[in-house]
Amino acid sequence: MRGRSYTKELKESIINEVKEVGNVSLVSRKHGISKSTRSLALENFLGR
């Protein structure tokens, strides 16, 4: 089962918001992003 997909623009917007706010969990909850999605996205973003 596929989950929600996020546009490149939305991803960039969320990353910028995290940089401004300084709290990944808070921004993730605001946008309805699950912990597992957040973990995978961070791994991809950090190149791990």
- Is 16 a member of any domain? yes
Q: Domain for residue 32, yes or no?
A: yes
Number of domains in the chain: 1
pLDDT given for residue 1 in this prediction: 53
Q: Whole-model pTM?
A: 0.74
Domain that holds residue 17: 8-46
Alpha-carbon span 26 to 40, nearest angstrom: 17
Task: Find, among 6, 9, 42, the residue nearest to 24 by Cα.
Answer: 42
Q: How far does the chain reach from its first CA to its final CA, in angstroms?
A: 24
Predicted local distance difference test score (pLDDT) of residue 46: 67
The vertex-4 CA angle with 2 and 18, nearest 5°, equals 135
- Tell me whether residue 1 is in a domain: no
Is 3 inside a domain boundary? no
Calculate the alpha carbon distances from 33 to 5, 8, 24, 41 in Å: 11, 15, 10, 10
pLDDT in tens, 12-48: 898 899 889 999 899 999 999 998 888 887 777 767 5
